[in-house]
């Protein structure tokens, strides 16, 4: 079993038991026709890579990777879902990326961000 950077145990390709439980819940919702097109760990580009003036090295791009993305049939919108523990929610890296992501979708009516704290 591989240890993750936040000290939770990776299980069957998931970062935690909570993620496995949520994936199983989403599969039941999909089977019931409530949602469709579940994507595990979708990645979103927040900022492209770039070169600053005469620097030889490019600054790498900034991405936000959520836990799940799925289409909610009744709401007629994509749901981006993030599962976070109380501890990891407070980390600066996550907080900054979450805010940048929310800013990037603020005017998009067909996308909703949901954060689940456990």
Between the alpha carbon of residue 49 and those of residues 52, 53, 55, 60, the distances in Å are 10, 13, 13, 5
User: Is 51 within a domain?
Assistant: yes
CA 17 to mean position of chain CA atoms: 16
What is the per-residue pLDDT across 70-97, written as a single tens digit (0 to 9) for each?
999 999 999 999 999 998 889 999 999 9
Residue 71 sits in which domain range?
36-117
From CA 49, how far away is CA 114, in angstroms rounded? 27
From CA 104, how far away is CA 97, in angstroms rounded? 10
From CA 47, how far away is CA 24, in angstroms rounded? 32
User: Is 8 within a domain?
Assistant: no
User: Is 70 within a domain?
Assistant: yes
User: Is 97 within a domain?
Assistant: yes
User: Is 12 within a domain?
Assistant: no
Q: What's the pLDDT score for residue 16?
A: 82
What is the per-residue pLDDT across 45-76, written as a single tens digit (0 to 9) for each?
999 999 999 888 989 999 999 999 999 999 99
From CA 92, how far away is CA 73, in angstroms rounded? 34
Count of domains in the chain?
Answer: 1
User: Is 25 within a domain?
Assistant: no
Query: Is the model's pLDDT at 10 over the cut of 70?
Result: no
What is the per-residue pLDDT across 22-41, written as a single tens digit (0 to 9) for each?
999 999 999 999 999 999 99
């Amino acid at each position: 079993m591989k240890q993750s950077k936040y000290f939770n145990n990776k299980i069957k390709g998931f970062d935690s038991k909570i993620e496995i439980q949520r994936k199983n819940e989403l599969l039941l919702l999909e089977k019931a026709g409530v949602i469709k097109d579940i994507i595990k760990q979708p990645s979103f580009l927040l900022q492209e890579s770039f070169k600053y003036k005469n620097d030889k090295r490019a600054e790498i791009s900034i991405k936000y990777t959520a836990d799940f993305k799925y289409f909610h049939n009744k709401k007629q919108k994509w749901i981006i879902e993030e599962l976070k523990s109380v501890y990891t929610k407070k980390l600066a890296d996550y907080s900054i990326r979450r805010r940048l992501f929310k800013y990037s979708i603020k005017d998009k009516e067909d996308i909703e961000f949901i954060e689940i704290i456990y």
